[in-house]
Structure 1
Amino acid sequence: MKTIKLVSLMLLFAIAASGQEKKAIYLDENQPIEERVEDALSRMTLDEKIAIIHAQSKFSSPGVARLGIPELWMTDGPHGIRPEVLWDEWEQAGWTNDSCIAFPALTCLASTWNEDLSLLYGQSIGEEARYREKDVLLGPGINIYRSPLNGRNFEYMGEDPYLASKMVVPYIKGVQQNGVAACVKHYALNNQETDRHTINVNVDDRALYEIYLPAFKAAVQEGDAWAIMGSYNRYQNQQGCHNERLLVEILRNEWGFDGAVVSDWGGVHNTMEAIKNGLDLEFGTWTDGLTMGATNSYDNYHLANPYRDLIKMGEVGTEELDQKVRNVLRLNFRTAMNRNKPWGSMGSPAHAAAAKKIAEEGIVLLKNDKNTLPIDLNKTDKIAVIGENAIKMMTVGGGSSSLKALYEISPLDGIRNRVGDAAEVVYARGYVGDASGSYNGVVTGQDLEDDRSSEELTQEALEVAKDADVVIFVGGLNKSQNQDSEGADRLSLDLPYNQDELIQKLAVTNKNLVVVNISGNAVAMPWVNEVPAIVQGWFLGSETGNALASVLVGDANPSGKLPFTFPVELTDNSAHSIGEFPGEGGQVHYKESIFVGYRWQEKENIEPLFSFGHGLSYTTFKYGKVSADKNEMTPDGKITFTVDVTNSGKRQGAEIVQLYIRDVKSSLPRPVKELKAFEKVTLQPGETKTVTFTIDKSALSFFDAEKHEWIAESGDFEAIVGASASDVKGKTAFVLK
């Protein structure tokens, strides 16, 4: 059973009464935290120091009982609080009070382009973690979307480092308001699941600093994250969880990180490197994070007995140990030892409402010819819903983010609940993908077995669709192996289970076809010109069906925009064109360098299926002229751009105005343009608002690897305002003097 983790007030009083009240600084929350850390450190024995830097169970590390310092308890995220497992097993503990609200996956959050919603997300999930007495939330994930085949992209925040940076900071702040540490992951370059424990990433410094590190830097320096999780992969032939360049030179020395570095489960491979290269807290070794290990295997961790033995033999000193202990103590004082943190709450109506709001704002309307959407229930008698994803639970599965949700509203149930008696809603399966309904002991309870042939399923779907006023096909990916799931990458950009063929037949049968794609990744759409309306639905969590129905019938006006590019075909993506994915012989080379996502498509003049930043609305927006407060900028100055945006339609809507910067002439190759600011504005019909963007030299800079510094070259620049990367609304020129 889980041991009690709260510090006993009686123990604290006993320590004070023993005459140590003036000396026990570490117990006094009114004292500066660094003084508390040093005081506690001075009181610890070697064995106690060794103990607190590695796990004692699947999800906990010990404190120092003698000193009243409690254990630290971790929980998987970042989309909901993982159900309780047994002490030393992955089997479910069998609790009946550990069901959570499942929040939308982080691709959906990124699609809101709404920093206020990111704060709400962090606050809400942080409250659930706090209620469950967890000290560290293992999330959010912010690895860059390099390839649409990465099975774990659904957990991340897209392809653009600026967007990911702006969205991760409020999430962290929201979580940590609850006295729960956000453990930002996976630092760094964890951009594939294939050979994830062994692959060595070869990337140039410019791409490292411009593309793959900015969101982590923002998490540390702006979000003040209390913990960072190392990555499984190797970089410069060292594991990410004990990587000198990443963890010591960059994270600590360049960024000034003062939190704790936590290993990914099973990510530690070498004792000496773990000692020297910046790891503070080791989890999952010997069991590889997945299977049972030897009895008392925690004592055999790299940062356990092997470390202590090296110290006792005089082969290493204790300087590194003391620094690790400082970092873990600091984490403890911020979380488990923080007696002023709020109580939290679990499964509340407020959290459900937050999940629904985030899902609604993250849903992206990709296409809407002839105003097929929203569905007018006053003119609709029959709605046909087709597709396995209309009924399949998506909160279970996908790896460590799998959840035991308090509830999950399916798309079909959400549509039926919203439509009510206004229209008949009929359903056909259409295809059978994955009938399973369990993962790591969490069972959905659904029986999705269906032994009909694909021909029978297709025929039923076409019959149902034939006389419907509107057809809603709900398909896409799921969280099974080789789809959107940890541990394996996708095998193709195409939709699985012959969905493309079914969609094409449905498009012929009924012209009023809406395709809802449920996925955390881009997919190929060979039928894109045959289908009038396409909705990107993401993995939307507990409120999936309610949020989708709200958008489909127009209760909510869609305002989400894509956080990554949808390519027409796989080779339109730079990792699959000139780069490598997933590599071979234990090596992967990022030959595309900084040209990731829209940066590559614009460089090569490749038209995407749907652009980065693309998303439609049920209203329309008119942009005015882009103007600047001056036409030149000094290196220590700023420049402000303004543009008027008007809702030129007939209903309230929100538009995400995007500012890109172009360096007209540079000494090094640069993207055609790069996102440097955005703002989401809500407008009533006919209303106009002035959107203002102010940038400084950092928005004009590139990373010079030879000088190892950010450079802004004097010369001509353009400020480009758009509704997406490809939908430019206006631009203005300026000069950096």
Structure 2
Amino acid sequence: MAYMKKTYLTSYEEALGLGDEQMKALKARVKQEKAEHPPRHIDSEWGRFEGLHGLSEEQVDDLAKKVLAGMTLEQKVNQMSGDESLDSIALSITREYNKTPYYGGEDPELGLPAVKFSDGPTGVVMYHSTAFPVPVGRAASFDRELEYKIGNAIGTEIRAQGGNYYGGVCINLVRHPAWGRAQESFGEDPHLLGAMGEALMNGVQNHVMACIKHFAANSIENTRFEVDVDMDERSLREIYLPHFERCVKAGAASVMSAYNYFRGEPCGHSAYLQRKILKEEWGFDGFILSDFVFCVRNTEDSVNGGMDIEMPSTIHWGTKLVDAVRNGSVREDVIDDAVLRLLRQKIRFAQVNAGTKPEPGKVVCREHIDLARRAAQESFVLLKNDAVLPLEDKKGQKILIAGKLAEKVNIGDGKGSSAVRPPYAVTPLEGIYRRAGEAAIFYDDGADLKRTAGKAKDADAVVIIAGLTCADEGEYMETFSGGADGIVGGDRSNLRLHEDDLRLIEACAQNNRAVTVCVMGGSSIIMDPWCEDVQGIVMLWYPGMEGGNALADVLFGDVSPSGKLPVSIPRDESQLPFFEVNAVKAQYDYYHGYFLADKEGYDMRYPFGFGLSYTEFELKNLRVSAKAAGEADTVKVLVDVTNTGKRAGTEIVQLYTGYCNPSAERHLKDLRGFERVSLEPGQTKTVSIPLAVRNLAYYDDAKGEWAVDPISYRIIVGNSSADAHALETTLEVR
């Protein structure tokens, strides 16, 4: 069961307190132990399940029960227990997190394969994999098909490197842009989260098991181990859970529990979340995996609360769980249920692409590199363009590239679960140099503002690369990463650019009237007041290993930008819900993002769903396939879209619904669907978006059930959540 025969640490708390010399000694001991007692793994990919194919769900269940019937209590508990030693995990977190798969529940004697875990919302954390743009950037594409292809590529690369499980489908809602791990998710809207999360999950599960995380209400990072989140039932059901339910109903193999507390209880111990809602109400038949390190607090509460496997190390389970069963504090049928869930998924996924394990050459292959570049192109959001973009590449054109981030590899969080390590990454400066044609490119890091201002005055155009890095936001790892680089990350206390970026923007704007600012970051960054002083703004997010090439493609007009904001960008902090970086208690409610903006009448600087193009689009002739519908019906919402400009481009048509005299308080509008449509100049296409009436339901607190109001619904179609020219009609629901 254990990865190593001996362990030196007894708790993660002990690991957190080790100094440099102690860590060095631990590394030497671990190396010696591995040499003397190398791990013994099953030779084949799926052990006794190797070669299975074509089994029905009934046959899968029968086989799982047959295997379970022949197991001892100790063997059952072994299936539920992480195989990695505390020593190796402590070292990997500080040095080489998830370089190889983390094993859990392997049993060579019974031929039962492990859950072989690989992390990474932006790609595969195991060396050296394709680094895609961060999920919040990919959400800006509103491209489900592309996200499915990215999932397929990630699943391929995991399996090629010996894994069978992907822990990177993060669908936590971005309630506030200060959340340090907002970059790992798909934005502020439940519908968008569900659509993109489902697409990623389905692509991954062409190859390996996928995990959706973190269940539930996880959106504070610095105090993630202790913060207690409370909310009313409607907010839970309508805002924080719909995207999880969508992915569960679509066949998610696994769910990862969250660190935070929910209504006074750790999420990983919550029978309400894990047993009642997830397993009973939603019919989830996969398994629940603990988040690493501190998710399981004790033996009995976590198991009885619905957790199925403790990862990556056995701390509270293992022999402690065996003892808990024998003393009666945990029933053996609870153990049987967890093991059946694990066995069923191993049997199911042993049949996925059986016998066709991808070759190592599929990792960072040409196809995946091209996919990363396309994903970056589609992720960029053009927020402002006063006739400065696209740039010209003709002879005699002088373009200044300014800012220290222009020459820095900045592809997202470089630590913990997002630490994808590609073999290379193209910086903005490199990409622009390669594509500049006959234009002359000059670079200045902005350290000497007088010098930079002089260069800006002499340039035909200025492109500033500004923004954040993983030292500003991301997974909070103060203790483990306070070494030479001083990386901390975590939640943001400041939602604006750094002072040196602001001074650089000011210096360039005062000396040039063709300034474009390209902003890097993992969520909303407040751009007032400097946004008034520049002529172009592009939101880059963290664009992955091909980001520099993709940026050049867009800046020089080879590709017209098509991204739309998956988060709202406010004018100032007062337009956001309350957020406390060091909170130990948090109260969430029904309003955040564009829901809050609509409620309070806030004029956001750049609203959810907003994004410009190098061409123009016109929407007209909105209609619904039926004027009235019943609760079980699905109607089609149709609109004609015309490219009225002179360039080819892609528009993202967004469908929202509003409510006329509802029985309960509702948002002013909710996103219900979207479609990408690509058009040549002058071309018109009809876009059709399905709308299931049952998705218009609200959660009735008093009755504890979903209800569809028999009222008139506003059907709103536009190109952002605050489109003043949106088209509108109504649908009567009987």
Give the TM-score normalised by the residue count of structure 2: 0.87
Shift of 1:380: 5.5
Would the alpha carbon gap of residues 147 and 190 (structure 1) be closer, same or farther in structure 2, given more than 3 Å must change? same
Shift of 1:730: 0.8
Q: Which amino acid aligns with 1:69?
A: L
The match for 2:575 among 560, 568, 572 is 572
Query: What is aligned with 1:77?
Result: 120
Shift of 1:221: 0.3
Query: What is aligned with 1:362?
Result: 379
Tell me the secondary structure at the aligned position of residue 451 of structure 2: helix
Query: What is aligned with 1:735?
Result: 732
The match for 1:282 among 310, 314, 330 is 310
Query: What is aligned with 2:485?
Result: none
Query: Within the alignment, does 1:374 sit opposite 2:423 as a pair?
Result: no
> Distance between the aligned counterparts of 2:594 and 2:348, measured in 1?
40
Would the alpha carbon gap of residues 704 and 50 (structure 1) be closer, same or farther in structure 2, given more than 3 Å must change? same
Query: Within the alignment, does 1:678 sit opposite 2:692 as a pair?
Result: no
The match for 1:496 among 498, 504, 518 is 498
Query: What is aligned with 1:444?
Result: none
Would the alpha carbon gap of residues 335 and 716 (structure 1) be closer, same or farther in structure 2, given more than 3 Å must change? closer
Task: Write out aligned runs for 1:557-596 (5 A).
Answer: 557-573=560-576, 575-576=577-578, 580-582=579-581, 584=583, 586-590=584-588, 593-596=589-592
Q: Which amino acid aligns with 1:460?
A: R
Task: Write out aligned runs for 1:283-298 (5 A).
Answer: 283-284=311-312, 298=314
Q: Which amino acid aligns with 2:184?
A: E
Shift of 1:240: 1.4
Would the alpha carbon gap of residues 43 and 156 (structure 1) be closer, same or farther in structure 2, given more than 3 Å must change? same
Tell me the secondary structure at the aligned position of residue 699 of structure 2: strand
Q: Which amino acid aligns with 1:234?
A: Y
Query: Within the alignment, does 1:478 sit opposite 2:478 as a pair?
Result: no
Q: Which amino acid aligns with 2:337?
A: Q
What whole-Å deviation, never above 9, does each CA across 1:654-682 have from its counterpart, x for those lacking one? 10001110102112221111111111001
Tell me the secondary structure at the aligned position of residue 197 of structure 2: helix
Query: Within the alignment, does 1:387 sit opposite 2:390 as a pair?
Result: no
Query: What is aligned with 2:7?
Result: none
Tell me the secondary structure at the aligned position of residue 198 of structure 2: helix
Query: What is aligned with 1:658?
Result: 654
The match for 1:460 among 420, 438, 451 is 451
Q: Would the aligned equivalents of 1:101 and 1:407 in 2 still touch at CA under 8 Å?
A: no
Query: What is aligned with 2:256?
Result: 229
> Distance between the aligned counterparts of 1:169 and 1:408, measured in 2?
28
Tell me the secondary structure at the aligned position of residue 522 of structure 1: coil
Shift of 1:587: 1.2
> Distance between the aligned counterparts of 1:338 and 1:415, measured in 2?
42
Q: Which amino acid aligns with 2:654?
A: Q
Query: Within the alignment, does 1:689 sit opposite 2:685 as a pair?
Result: yes
Query: What is aligned with 2:645?
Result: 649
Would the alpha carbon gap of residues 205 and 314 (structure 1) be closer, same or farther in structure 2, given more than 3 Å must change? closer
Query: What is aligned with 1:271?
Result: 299
Query: Within the alignment, does 1:66 sit opposite 2:109 as a pair?
Result: yes
Q: Would the aligned equivalents of 1:26 and 1:37 in 2 still touch at CA under 8 Å?
A: no
Query: What is aligned with 2:18?
Result: none
Q: Would the aligned equivalents of 1:63 and 1:69 in 2 still touch at CA under 8 Å?
A: yes
Task: Write out aligned runs for 1:93-132 (5 A).
Answer: 98-132=127-161
What whole-Å deviation, never above 9, does each CA across 1:396-423 have from its counterpart, x for those lacking one? 6153201221110000000001114x11
Would the alpha carbon gap of residues 9 and 589 (structure 1) be closer, same or farther in structure 2, given more than 3 Å must change? closer
Q: Would the aligned equivalents of 1:7 and 1:69 in 2 still touch at CA under 8 Å?
A: no
Query: What is aligned with 1:240?
Result: 267
Tell me the secondary structure at the aligned position of residue 626 of structure 1: strand
> Distance between the aligned counterparts of 1:479 and 1:355, measured in 2?
20
Q: Would the aligned equivalents of 2:304 and 2:330 in 1 still touch at CA under 8 Å?
A: no
Task: Write out aligned runs for 1:46-445 (5 A).
Answer: 46-57=73-84, 58=89, 59-83=102-126, 98-178=127-207, 180-222=208-250, 224-266=251-293, 267-284=295-312, 298=314, 301-335=315-349, 340=354, 342-344=356-358, 345-369=362-386, 371-378=387-394, 381-395=397-411, 397-420=414-437, 422-431=438-447
Shift of 1:510: 0.9
Tell me the secondary structure at the aligned position of residue 624 of structure 1: strand
What whole-Å deviation, never above 9, does each CA across 1:472-506 have from its counterpart, x for those lacking one? 100111111x4244452101111124312221221
> Distance between the aligned counterparts of 1:642 and 1:46, measured in 2?
58
Tell me the secondary structure at the aligned position of residue 229 of structure 2: strand
Deviates more, 1:510-519 or 1:483-492: 483-492
Q: Would the aligned equivalents of 1:70 and 1:337 in 2 still touch at CA under 8 Å?
A: no
Would the alpha carbon gap of residues 8 and 637 (structure 1) be closer, same or farther in structure 2, given more than 3 Å must change? closer
Shift of 1:220: 0.7
Query: What is aligned with 1:441?
Result: none
Shift of 1:464: 2.3
Query: What is aligned with 1:434?
Result: none
Number of residue-to-residue matches in the alignment: 660
Query: What is aligned with 1:517?
Result: 519
> Distance between the aligned counterparts of 1:6 and 1:520, measured in 2?
40
Q: Which amino acid aligns with 1:155?
A: E
Query: Within the alignment, does 1:556 sit opposite 2:599 as a pair?
Result: no
Tell me the secondary structure at the aligned position of residue 128 of structure 1: helix
Query: What is aligned with 1:704?
Result: 700
> Distance between the aligned counterparts of 1:545 and 1:120, measured in 2?
21
Tell me the secondary structure at the aligned position of residue 510 of structure 2: helix
Query: What is aligned with 1:545?
Result: 548
Query: Within the alignment, does 1:35 sit opposite 2:35 as a pair?
Result: no
Would the alpha carbon gap of residues 27 and 397 (structure 1) be closer, same or farther in structure 2, given more than 3 Å must change? closer
Shift of 1:6: 5.0
Shift of 1:698: 2.1
Query: What is aligned with 1:454?
Result: none
Tell me the secondary structure at the aligned position of residue 417 of structure 2: coil
Tell me the secondary structure at the aligned position of residue 545 of structure 2: helix
Deviates more, 1:692-701 or 1:45-54: 692-701
Q: Would the aligned equivalents of 1:79 and 1:105 in 2 still touch at CA under 8 Å?
A: yes
Query: Unpaired runs of 5+ in structure 2?
Result: 1-33, 90-101, 478-489
Deviates more, 1:26-35 or 1:636-645: 26-35
Query: Unpaired runs of 5+ in structure 1?
Result: 13-24, 84-97, 286-297, 432-456
Shift of 1:278: 0.9
Would the alpha carbon gap of residues 10 and 47 (structure 1) be closer, same or farther in structure 2, given more than 3 Å must change? closer
Q: Which amino acid aligns with 2:516?
A: V
Give the TM-score normalised by the residue count of structure 1: 0.86
Would the alpha carbon gap of residues 715 and 303 (structure 1) be closer, same or farther in structure 2, given more than 3 Å must change? same
Q: Which amino acid aligns with 1:156?
A: S
Would the alpha carbon gap of residues 6 and 514 (structure 1) be closer, same or farther in structure 2, given more than 3 Å must change? farther
> Distance between the aligned counterparts of 1:327 and 1:635, measured in 2?
34
Q: Would the aligned equivalents of 2:52 and 2:354 in 1 still touch at CA under 8 Å?
A: no
What whole-Å deviation, never above 9, does each CA across 1:563-608 have from its counterpart, x for those lacking one? 01001111201x22xxx53474x21111xx2212101101111000
Q: Would the aligned equivalents of 1:26 and 1:35 in 2 still touch at CA under 8 Å?
A: no
> Distance between the aligned counterparts of 2:65 and 2:647, measured in 1?
60
> Distance between the aligned counterparts of 1:676 and 1:583, measured in 2?
34
Shift of 1:314: 3.5
Tell me the secondary structure at the aligned position of residue 378 of structure 1: coil
Q: Would the aligned equivalents of 2:46 and 2:113 in 1 still touch at CA under 8 Å?
A: no
> Distance between the aligned counterparts of 2:646 and 2:424, measured in 1?
36
> Distance between the aligned counterparts of 2:284 and 2:60, measured in 1?
15
Q: Which amino acid aligns with 1:72?
A: V
